[in-house]
Amino acid sequence: MLLEACMQVFTPTCLGLIVLGVVVGIIFGAIPGLSATMAVVLFLPMSFGMSPTNGLSLLIGLYLGGISGGLISAILLKIPGTPSSIATVFDGAPMAEHGEAGKALGAGILYSFIGGLISIFALIFISPYLAAVTIKFTPVEYFSVALFSLTIIASLSGTSLLKGLLAGVFGIAISMVGMAPIDSVERFTFDNFQLMSGFDIVVILIGVFAVTDIIMSGFGRQHLDDNYEKAKYNLNGYGITMKEFKEQFGNMIRSALIGVGIGILPGIGGNVAGLLSYTATKNASKHPEKFGTGIVDGIIASETSNNAVIGGSLIPLITMGIPGNTVAAILLGGLTIHGITPGPLVFQKSGVYVYAIFLALLVANVVMLVVERGALKWFVKLLDIPKHILLPIVMACCVVGAYASNSRMFDVWCVVLFGLLGLLFKKLSIPTTPLIIGFILGKMTEENLRRALQASNGDISVFFTRPISLAFLVVAFVFVIYTLRKSAQAAKLKESE
């Protein structure tokens, strides 16, 4: 079966489609407002007309390229090109300011490859074992996982814990607009049918991360081009020395494992994986205060883990038919159209295609490593375009992206409104990242809490008696205490100064 898969993947057409997918994916990933998800959505109808192997290979190339392209704009434009690269901005932007854009890019690409590779091996070798655990998950476990993830809000809040928490709960509040889970009661729609399905995450991300920045550039137009002086970059190979590679080995493995783990859990995507690994690396580091000032550790954590999500998100997809994130959900559609039903029996029934997916992933990963590094010169050229010309074009792409997600004007207006909201947040020094995390996890938390309590007749002890759930809650609790202590220490330090 493996041989047959090889014969299907290693054809000029299929390899050509993988390269096309990766290149288009990188471009979509790099342009803010166009995401990996969108690239896969746009090409999905095109893949229906191809053979299953060709179609799936194209989609996989797009997925991998899309996730890997985000780091380019995260570093060069300070705007995450795709939600997965949010955490890359934290250290990528300061590194570019210090003239280390080349190193940041090189390390980002190399560790994207490594993260992808580790996760593909995880997918191939350990998927049956991991599937055996997650298949037993009930809403009780899902709630605890969501609650655990929400505690990240606290540690990501920067200097002001309270403002971060406020932004986080505000994110949860906006996620409640539209039809409620379980009973489909309309909430906060104010009789506007456009609000029935709630806000699209793409719309919020484009608004808060891109439009806000463009408006801010209007306020700072006098200094627009001095901030964006072309960062000189000097890059040999991938910018990482053997010594650094050895130093970062623990970081790499930890981030890859977090990425694979997050990928497996349904509903949580690369953005959360990147943020979680960033936080974990920061907390484990001997010099956590350097994070955010431009050190390569942050880039490695974020980029290793967001690519590690790729393989992880396919584990529950292939073995159980449960997509690990939005892109995996679209891939599920691609599989079903070609008559492949994911599930425990998929290896017997459609084994060839499963092996073809594995091979396409490995090939796409190598193509990404070569193409993104090889064409880096052209990507860095983005910096040559003056900001007063580039930013308006970015804005036009944002509007196209917002319109494209649902083909409705309502989303375009929402992008502008969220841009203004982001501006208000910036002016009041409120962090915006917790808003996004709150939004992503809000729905999941509520739905699973309600489902779990329905099943237990309102008995909350279920969350503490089931071992996996208890473990996540304990970790969440420890995390909160740890963050509170750290922030108290930081406040003391500030006062004594």
Partner 1 sequence: MTEKQKNFICSILFFLFGLFMYIQSLPITPVVGKDLGSGFMPKLIAVAIIILSVIEFVLTMLKKKDKKKVSSNSTDMKGGILTIVSIASYALFYDYLGFLLSTTLYLFIQMVILSNEDNRKVKTFAIISIASSAVIYVVFNNVIGMQLPAGILEI
From 49-57, 71-79, 207-215, 362-370, span contacting partner 1 (CB under 8 A): 207-215
Residue type at 301 in one-letter notation:
A
Helices and strands per DSSP (H, E), number in the chain = 25, 2
Instruction: Candidates 162, 475, 478, 488: give the one binding partner 1 (CB under 8 A).
Output: 162
Instruction: Candidates 176, 320, 382, 468: give the one binding partner 1 (CB under 8 A).
Output: 176
Minimum CB separation of residue 396 from partner 1 in Å reads: 5
Q: Which is nearer to partner 1, 254 or 387 (CB)?
A: 387
- Crossing angle, helix 296-320 and helix 52-76, to 10 degrees? 160
What is the DSSP secondary-structure string of 425-462?
Answer: HHHTT--SHHHHHHHHHHHHHHHHHHHHHHHTTT-TTH
CB proximity list for 180: less than 8 A, separation 6 or greater? 186, 187, 446
From 105-113, 306-314, 444-452, 474-482, span contacting partner 1 (CB under 8 A): 444-452
Minimum CB separation of residue 317 from partner 1 in Å reads: 25
Instruction: Candidates 397, 468, 470, 480: give the one binding partner 1 (CB under 8 A).
Output: 397
Burial of 121 (0-12, 13-18, 19+ CB in 10 A): middle
Interaction of residue 95 with partner 1, rule CB under 8 A:
no
Beta strands per DSSP E along 330-404: none
- CB-CB neighbours of 111 under 10 Å: 30
- Which residues between 352 and 391 bind partner 1 (CB under 8 A)? 386-389, 391
Q: Which is nearer to partner 1, 68 or 217 (CB)?
A: 217
Structure token pair of residue 415: 């992008």
Interaction of residue 16 with partner 1, rule CB under 8 A:
no
CB 176 within 8 A of CB 442: yes
Interaction of residue 200 with partner 1, rule CB under 8 A:
no
Interaction of residue 222 with partner 1, rule CB under 8 A:
yes
Minimum CB separation of residue 259 from partner 1 in Å reads: 29
Cα gap 139→144, rounded to integer Å: 9
Q: Which is nearer to partner 1, 108 or 434 (CB)?
A: 434
Residue among 250, 204, 222, 256 nearest 419 (CA): 204
Q: Which is nearer to partner 1, 428 or 493 (CB)?
A: 428
Cα gap 191→7, rounded to integer Å: 56
Minimum CB separation of residue 24 from partner 1 in Å reads: 10
Instruction: Candidates 1, 20, 50, 165: give the one binding partner 1 (CB under 8 A).
Output: 165
Cα gap 196→64, rounded to integer Å: 32
Interaction of residue 446 with partner 1, rule CB under 8 A:
yes
Structure token pair of residue 330: 């679209």
Interaction of residue 219 with partner 1, rule CB under 8 A:
yes
Write the interaction track for partner 1 spanning residues 398-427; mark x where CB under 8 A is met and - where it is not: -xx--xx--x-x--xx-xx--xx--x---x
Minimum CB separation of residue 32 from partner 1 in Å reads: 14
Task: Let me know the angle formed at the C-alpha of 432 by 424 and 210, rounded to the nearest 5 degrees.
Answer: 80
Instruction: Candidates 450, 468, 479, 486: give the one binding partner 1 (CB under 8 A).
Output: 450
Phi/psi class of residue 75: alpha, beta or left (left: φ > 0; alpha: ψ in -120 to 50)? alpha
Q: Which is nearer to partner 1, 31 or 367 (CB)?
A: 31
Judged by the rule CB under 8 A, the positions of this chain that interact with partner 1 are 42, 45, 162-163, 165-166, 169-170, 172-173, 176, 180-183, 185, 187-188, 211, 214-225, 386-389, 391-393, 395-397, 399-400, 403-404, 407, 409, 412-413, 415-416, 419-420, 423, 427-430, 442, 445-446, 449-450, 453-454, 457-458
